[in-house]
A and B are shown apart, each in its own frame.
Chain A
């Protein structure tokens, strides 16, 4: 399973803080996982289509072609605004 986390507006718009996704060929990159989530319904498609969306694989901000494996933690969130 891939542990998928959502933060800030992304969490709020989806109404989910975290979900588990079965690892498969389709989810073998961050982009693949994103596409799989976007296919759930219109709401998910809209959030996942944001050009500002960032992804962290195992707690490191990553490019969309980063490999994702069973047991990984993948987080989707908007640009950060701390400080």
Chain B
């Protein structure tokens, strides 16, 4: 078994997409690199959002991210996996989460990246507190996110 590259980080600092890309894109056995970046957008359910505060459960968060990474590796032949999720307060337009996956072929890399964000959103203990024109509100979990994660159980 080859040494696996898993980089799982929960941090307040921002991350650099070029740097994270360079870390995983240096292996010539990989033909595909897929990355996803989640950002703070200016609306949610019709209200204006000005910033977002992410709370998490230290310890459990990292454990869940490692577990979903292991699950992705069981389903697809992956080489490198990076998950970085920020916590604390983030302004409009700031980056929240980075997912990067490499594989020999694109289908595995695309599928694993989508699986990881779908599972992260429904399994990892993070909570969003939105600030905006309606004051501060805890974001409600969306049925659509739960359905997206459940779709993977049927595939």
Name A's B-contacting residues (CB within 8 A).
5, 7-9, 12, 52, 56, 59-61, 75, 77-83
- Which chain B positions have C-beta within 8 A of A82? 54, 56, 85, 97, 120-121, 124-128
Q: Are B138 and A7 in contact (CB under 8 A)?
A: no
Interchain nearest-CB distance for A14 vs B (Å): 14
CB contact between A80 and one of B97, B117, B126 (< 8 Å): that residue: B126
Kindly list chain A residues whose C-beta atoms are within 8 Å of the C-beta of B38: 83
Which residues of B pack against A, CB within 8 Å? 38, 54-57, 59-60, 63, 85, 96-97, 117, 120-129, 138-141, 145
Complex Cα gap A75–B59 (Å): 12
Chain A contacts of B59 at CB under 8 A? 59
Per a CB cutoff under 8 Å, which of A59, A60, A75, A83 touches B117? A83
- In the bound complex, residues from chain B placing their C-beta under 8 Å from that of A60 are 60
Instruction: Take A7-B127, A8-B138 as given contacts and tell me if A83 and B57 are in contact as well, using a CB distance cutoff of 8 Å.
Output: no
